[in-house]
Amino acid sequence: MFIKQEYTFWKIAHDLVVVQGFEILHLNSQTHDLWLEKDYKWKTHVVRLKVAQFNWARELMDDILLTYQRVKQNIRLFTGSRLMFHNLYLSEYPPVDDWEKAVTDVLKSDSKVNMKLYYLDEEHKSEESSRFYHSISLNSPQLGQNLQPAEMESIISYLRQQIVSSDQQRKRAALDLFKYGKPIMTYVLLILNILVFFFVEWKGKSTSLISLIQYGAKYNPALMDGEWWRIVTSMFLHIGFLHLFMNMLALFYLGTAVERIYGSLRFTGIYFLAGIFGGLSSFMMNPQIAAGASGAIFGLFGALLFFGLLHKRLFFRTMGTNVLFIIGLNLAFGFIVPQVDNSAHLGGLTGGFIASMLIHLPKQKNLKVQLLSLAIYILAAIGMVWGGTAQYSQSEQAGVQVQYTQELIKDKQYDQVIQTATHALEFPGIYKAELLFNRSYAYTQKGQLDKAKQDLEKAVQVKPDMAEAHFNLALIYQKRGRLNQAKEEAEKAASLKPEQENFQKLLRSLN
């Protein structure tokens, strides 16, 4: 009787949905066609449960081929690369002809979909049911086939109600994951970053190294002097309006999503822990001056990845593919463009993921994982501080000091130029000539021509092709009345850069 197949259909469906936690992909109660999905033991199991009577093998094969097409058309909707498809048919009798070999050939004909077939006719129902449950490593339920039709009818109604209720609860719980918090801190951080940017612009210029260092950018020599607070303050500084705009746009979209999932308190913890982790990573791997909220923002990507790890199916059906694409695009951009601090991005991404493990999702706890992530974060932070300190090289920082002293010269802070250059010249690396030249300029502006001359003479010894140093040296010799030496230096400057009119003009005047 058909009631037996219908009862078995709802009995197995109830066990898979209510007891085992499978998600309903499609349900047609009229045709008794049910599609389910669950990630289990590193595999994605998709189950199709169908009540049908096939008289001939051809009819069965047509349905299998149609099912193949549906699976392949929607393959992107199924999470995970190891997809296992289980096709269960419930029927009173099997097809009358030799269907098993024909079906086996059909199943082997397409290697893209790993499909298993279970034909639960009345004679083989228990056997095939057990085989199916064994294949997904679950215990088979008692089907209770010795009931009267009236009892089955009443139980079917109850099972259907339970299935629908369970599915609705699961969907509400999935929606609630995105509605836990309100994006309050996101807006606070946006306002703070914008206010700090315009404050720096008002006081100086956001693209100026002097302003960046003055107001708390990541500056390795200062960190080595104990100014570790710069790791946090650098998160609120941005170099130019475009830098601010791009970061705030990313913060707006990512921040609202993450804060709705994690809540304001957890979001704040993830943001700052990720930003600190990214800053320490930049200290260890990037000698340049750095600023911006990028590390913390990449930490929000890490938070979404952790969410995706716990809710893989929901993640990939909502934002997962876009998130992975944007992360990959930004990292690729960072490797291509040398000015981008990719070490902070990678550090922020990693730090955000670890911080999310530590803080965890609302109403979810895993003490072992949280303690492990705390230990990993602390040890990694200590390791980055130690690594950055151990490999800190003043000669590597000399290039940054050259840029800094040039900015100081533009700002006419000549005493600071002399102090900075003198300190950098202890370990100048390949930048000795540039540092001497900048210091000589500061000495010249302060009227200390003897010191300026000494620096320029050393600069041209180190770098004979530095035309500007020869030109300035010629000017000093001219002021001192040493015209032959002045002419000699002017000739060198003019020959090195004949396109410079000032060099040619000085040489003509000396001739």
DSSP secondary-structure letter at 54?
-
Q: What percent of the chain is predicted at pLDDT more than 70?
A: 93
CA distance 397 to 423: 11
Residues annotated as part of the active site: 294, 345
Structure token pair of residue 357? 């493990």
Average pLDDT over residues 144-162: 83
Average pLDDT for residues 43-50, to the nearest whole number?
A: 89
Distance CA 310, CA 304 (A): 10
Q: What average pLDDT does the segment 298-309 reach?
A: 92
Say whether pLDDT at 421 is over 70. yes
pLDDT 10s digits, 189-218: 999 999 999 999 998 888 888 889 899 999
Nearest CA-CA partner of 174 in 317, 341, 41, 296? 317
**Cα torsion angle, 229, 220, 206, 281, sign:** negative
CA–chain centroid gap for 358, Å, is 17
Specify the DSSP class assigned to residue 311. S
The full set of domains in the chain, from first to last, is 2-176 (3.40.91), 184-390 (1.20.1540.10), 394-445 (no CATH), 464-511 (1.25.40.10)
pLDDT score of 259:
95
pTM above 0.85, yes or no: no
- Residue scoring higher pLDDT (446 or 40): 446
DSSP of 76-112: GGS-SS-EEEEEEEE-SS--SS--HHHHHHHHHT-SS
